[in-house]
Each structure stands twice: as structure tokens, then as C-alpha cells.
Amino acid sequence: MGKKNWLIMLGVAVFIGAFPWLVAPFKAVSHYTDVMVFAGIFSLVSVGLSLLMGYAGQISLAQAAFFGIGAYTSAILTSKLGINPWLAIPVGASVSGAVAWFVGVPALRLKGHYLAMATLGFGVIVNIVLGEEVKWTGGPSGMADIPALRIAGHKIVSETAWYYLVWSVVFLALIFCFHILHSRVGRALRAIHEEEKAAESMGVPTARYKVSIFVLSAVLAAIAGSFYAHYVTCVNPSSFNLMWSIRFMLMVMVGGMQSLWGALVGTILMTFVGNEWLQVFAEFEILVYGTILLLVALFVPGGIVSLIPRRIPGRRQKVSASEGAGS
């Protein structure tokens, strides 16, 4: 990962660890711990999407579909078949990964808008299936009474317990993804992003790497979906529609597509925007998100992290520069 990224990781971990205790004394913001649980869950999706879009240069509007596959797989296995939730989560991730491979092999041969449309179509198909397969998914009404996660036989019910569980998984995912970026695979992904044909001419198996990262992003989204299902204990198709794919993309773009730290910052910010600060505009949600997307594209195309001085790590350029010394 590099020394500087480890230092940032430590600083972020200290802040995350202290956050519930900082807001607890203030009644007006004490519920922010719950918001941060959702931010952690969504961060798993956005970190995978950052790898796919920011580093591999592949557009995906299907992350909400993989998020939903993970959520519904866990919900069905635990509530209908009585399987332990801790076993259902990896099953959901495996199902999502297998579907991503099946879709990715042909779809990732496309580029640009064609790839975006292909993944968008897949996401719409998944959402329709979730709404129509009433026997297993409950149809438009969704599924309720999803079992809670347990540790040592005790249900995880408090927001604080969920907070630390989810963010522990987020940090593990970040460490794993940073190790990928500081490896030969990471260099290959950057080469694909910059110029795919040149990368192929240098012997980089571009198709294999693109599919692999697509599958990894789907697996992370599915794990997030499983946590979401067991946290809220009810799911319905509206939580996994196209609007959610756009939200995930916006989270990454606001923070900075070419930075994992940017994806984290953007996700936290946009989760608070969506869950707390813009509730009054609920009827104009698509308008608000469209405006934010337009403003970011026009004035801060590199995301929030592009405003950080270059000597501070977190931007893709800095990570790239340190690759040679650290590998």
C-alpha cells in the first residue's frame, strides 16, 4: 500500500472509530451513526466501482443489480431456506460474481456508451425479475423479516455494533484493493485505462483483467447488498433500480473516480446528502442528483480529491508515481 496510504488509513480508522462517541452526546445528530452504517455499506459498492471505472476505465450502470443480487440471495437463503446468514453472504457474493462473469465476458468487448447501455440493460432486467418473481422475491412488495446477523449466538441489533462491523469490512476491502493497485494487476489496469490497444501490444491480457475487475466489483456490491438486507431486515426492488446505479456512480464521481479515498469521501458525503440534507427535495430527487452531476462534471471533473495538493496521496497520479518504488 505504501507508507503514506497506511498513515491515511490509520487516521481515517481513528476518526471512524471515534465517530459514534463524538455524535452520541448531541441528540440532534446522534442518529448519524445509522447514516454512517449505510455509508459504510455503500462504500463497498463505490470502492469496487472506483476500481472498475477510475482505474480500468470501464463504465457500469449495473452495480445496483449486483447489490440487489447479493441482498435477495441472502434474504431468500436465510428467510425461506433457513441457512445461516454468515453462510448466505459468501453464497450471494459467489452468485453475483458468476453472473458478472457471464455478463462481462461479452459486454466488456464493448466500449464507451455501448458498454454503458449494455450494463444498463442488464440492470433493468434484474430489477424486472426481482419485481415479477413473486414466489421467491415477494414481487413489488419485497421481503420482510430477514434474520439478523449473529455473533457468538447474539443478534447484532444495535446501530453501534453494526457500525463497527460494516466499517471493519470496508477497511479490509480497502486494504485488499490497495494491494491490487500496487501490484502488476494495478499497473495493467492503468495501462488499459490510458490506452487499451497499446496495452494489448505490450502483452497485457486486457480482456481477462477487465472481466476480473468487473467480477470483483460485483462481488463487493453483493457483499454490501447482503449487509444491507440483514441490517434493514426488509428489501424490495425499488432499492436496486437504475436510480441506485446512478447514485453509486455519482458517489464515485463526486469523490474522485481515480482514487479509492475519493470514492470513500464521495460515498459518505452523498449518503448524508441523500439521507439527511436533501429530504425536502425528495419529489425532485432525479433533478437534484442531475444538478450535482452536472456541477461536478463542469467545475470539479476530478472530484473532491483533485482539490487536494498533489503531495498528499490519494489521487491516482500520486499512486502511479509511487508504484515503481514500491513494487
Q: What is the CATH number of domain 3-326?
A: 1.10.3470
The pLDDT value given to residue 225: 97
Residues 6+ apart with CB under 8 A from 305: 255, 256, 259, 261, 262, 265, 314, 315
Q: Which of 24-28, 110-114, 193-197, 308-312 has the lowest mean pLDDT?
A: 308-312
Q: What is the mean pLDDT of residues 121-141?
A: 93
Taking the model in full, what pTM does it have? 0.90
DSSP sequence for 221-247: HHHHHHHHHHHHS-B-GGGGSHHHHHH
Q: For 11-28, what is each residue's pLDDT tens digit?
A: 999 999 999 999 988 888
Mapped to the 3 state alphabet, what secondary structure does 259-288 carry?
A: CHHHHHHHHHHHHHHHHHHCHHHHHHHHHH
DSSP state of 53: I
The pLDDT value given to residue 162: 95
pLDDT above 50 (res 117): yes
The pLDDT value given to residue 282: 63
Query: 184 is written with which cell numbers?
Result: 502488476
